Amino acid sequence: MAIMKEYIKKMNTKDKINFIKNKKSIALLAPSFPIDFEYPAIIGMLRELGFNKVTELTFGARMVNWNYVQYIKGHLDQELFIASPCPTVVNFIKAQYPDFTQYLMPIASPMLAAARIYKEHHPEYEIIFISPCFAKEKLEAVNHQDNIDMVITFTEIKEMFNLKKIKEQDFNRQYFFDSFIQEFTKVYPISGGLGNTAHIGNLFTKKEILITDGLTNIKLALEQIKNKEKTYRFLDILNCPGGCIGGPATSKELNTEEKEAKIASYISKASEHNLGSHEGKISYAKEINLRVEF
């Protein structure tokens, strides 16, 4: 396994295409994908590239929410809870504010949660995350190689499409994601998406919750807590501007407001379809261990 992972690290774009073609693989598509790709064409394009199954991370996010709520309810005497889906934020806190590491939520990110769920239900498949973020590979996936087989950025996927001459306009029929999806967590990549969809406001007062992004703002908040200037109980924080929609592998041509509009448009379009058997139920993953350690 370790040898295989080292081999994957050295792959160029063509190697990765061949890997996808020659392995049974599942594409886990980050929910910020509408910034760079059209729905539902992207599903057909990824299948044409070689993926056997294509899904988004919404069910993983749903299970993260469920585990967050269960954990907080079981630890209400804890003074502070820090959301931990962003590997850049996690590493920043561990390096710059080690005393706050104890407050990081010991729950998997949506990427890792979805990967563990799919490994449980489809152990014979390679799990490949398609990401707006370089840190998911460099800082997170490297620590969870039993669950994540490969991370490919939006930028790399575009290169693959170009190499294989896979064009969006050739995929103009209706495509559906494979099973285990959830509608309301499609807003997850927008700053505050986690707290809002997990209904963290039911557990703390409005003043006790901070939603912010960017390391400058995060550092300010941690300093305020450290110096007893603020009494936040839950920090919903992400590194990139606007949240994961501002990831470094996303389009540079759109501003935050335009990216949020893209997500809203996608949610509206996707909501027209009945999920049916594709809907992810808590029972599918309730017994799967989604805990992590920092």
**In whole angstroms, what is the distance from residue 256 CA to residue 244 CA?**
10
Q: Is 243 helix (H, G, I), strand (E, B) or coil?
A: strand
Q: Does residue 286 sit within a domain?
A: no
Residue 228 φ/ψ region, left for φ over 0, alpha for ψ in the -120 to 50 degree band, beta for the rest: left
Residue 44 pLDDT more than 60? yes
Question: Do the domain assignments include residue 293?
Answer: no
pLDDT digits (tens, 9 = 90+) for 128-154: 999 999 999 889 998 999 999 999 999
In a domain, 188, yes or no: yes
What is the extent of the structural domain holding 192? Answer: 2-278
Query: Model confidence over 184-228: pLDDT tens digits?
Result: 899 999 999 999 999 999 999 999 999 999 999 999 999 999 999
Whose structure tokens read 């996608």?
266
Number of domains in the chain: 1
Residue 197 lies in a domain: yes
pLDDT of residue 8 exceeding 90, the answer is no
Determine, yes or no, domain membership for 113.
yes
Q: Tell me, yes or no, whether 283 lies in a domain.
A: no
Domain for residue 292, yes or no? no
Between CA 111 and CA 247 the distance in angstroms is 15
- 103 DSSP assignment: G
What does pTM read for this prediction?
Answer: 0.94
Q: Give the span between the Cα atoms of 274 and 254, in whole angstroms.
A: 30
127 membership: H or E segment, kind and range: strand 126-131
Phi-psi region of 258 (alpha: psi -120 to 50; beta: other; left: phi over 0): alpha
Flag whether 70 is in a domain.
Answer: yes
What span, in angstroms and rounded, lies between the C-alpha atoms of 153 and 170?
22
